[in-house]
Amino acid sequence: MQGDVLTVSSWNELQEILYQDSYNANLKRFRSSYMYRGMDDSSYDLSTSLNRLGESHLERHLLRNFRKYSNINDPNRSIWSWLALAQHHGLPTRLLDWTYSPLVALHFATAKFNKFDRDGVIWAVNYVDTIEYLPDQLKSIIRKEGSHIFTEEMLDRGVQSLDELSALKDDEFAVFLEPSAVDQRIVNQYAVVSMLSNPNTSIEHWLPGKEVRYYKIIIPAALKWEIRDKLDQANINERILFPGLDGLANWLKRHYMDIR
């Protein structure tokens, strides 16, 4: 599925679509090759926080000063580890958050009360398909590892700076990276990030014309409360995805909200 836009009308239809194409014939297992990103407003695009800042040339300055003022003295930490850490703490970066879990993506599409009058959206991208567009230097690393996604250490073996990344190939390419589990939130959200070799480009604009399967699901506003309540029953909520008192308070606030 390349660029299909699907609007669901029920919880059951939504589950069917989220888990479509998940069977891996080589493994004889249901192991999906898709990453998911949920957003609570279908009008939102896949721009990064750096894109939204509108000043991609500030990227190196933001990251340099984050490293300087963070008070983390770790000379062996790679640029990719710094970038993932900065993204995790809210610094504008070229990274975009995804998850292996379609249900976690559904959480983010239905998490905010003030967006329940708007359609939500889930994007799904086949990250295995994107490997074909990597520069040879990175493609050989990921294939030698027998992996479909980079770790920070694997990526650092092939390229050590953002400038080097951009220079590896004339054509733009996408990298999917599994960040280090610096805290339980990353683990519980089954987190992955993507980045483009060109920080001025979004993956939404990179995908068309590529042999990469992707699609988006529109979640009508009328379905959001049903989805939200069923996710809570399945224990996919702030209490789990944002461990700590803030997550607990946000979950309880919604759980006891009277919508009559």
Alpha helices in 110-223 (DSSP H): 136-144, 152-158, 162-167, 184-188, 203-206
- Note the pLDDT tens digit of each residue in 201-222: 999 999 999 999 999 999 999 9
The ranges assigned to domains in the chain are 2-255
Tell me what pLDDT residue 40 has: 96
- The rounded percent of the chain whose pLDDT value lies above 70 is 99
Which pLDDT band holds residue 159 (cuts at 50, 70, 90)?
Answer: very high
- Note the pLDDT tens digit of each residue in 17-69: 999 888 888 888 998 999 999 999 999 999 999 998 887 788 999 999 999 99
N- to C-terminal Cα separation, the chain: 40
Q: Letter for the amino acid at 260?
A: R
How far is it, in rounded angstroms, from Cα 170 to Cα 233?
A: 48
Tell me what pLDDT residue 195 has: 96
Give the predicted TM-score (pTM) of the model: 0.92
Which pLDDT band holds residue 260 (cuts at 50, 70, 90)?
Answer: low
Tell me what pLDDT residue 77 has: 87
How far is it, in rounded angstroms, from Cα 100 to Cα 94?
A: 19
Q: Which of 47-51, 151-155, 182-186, 228-232 has the lowest mean pLDDT?
A: 182-186
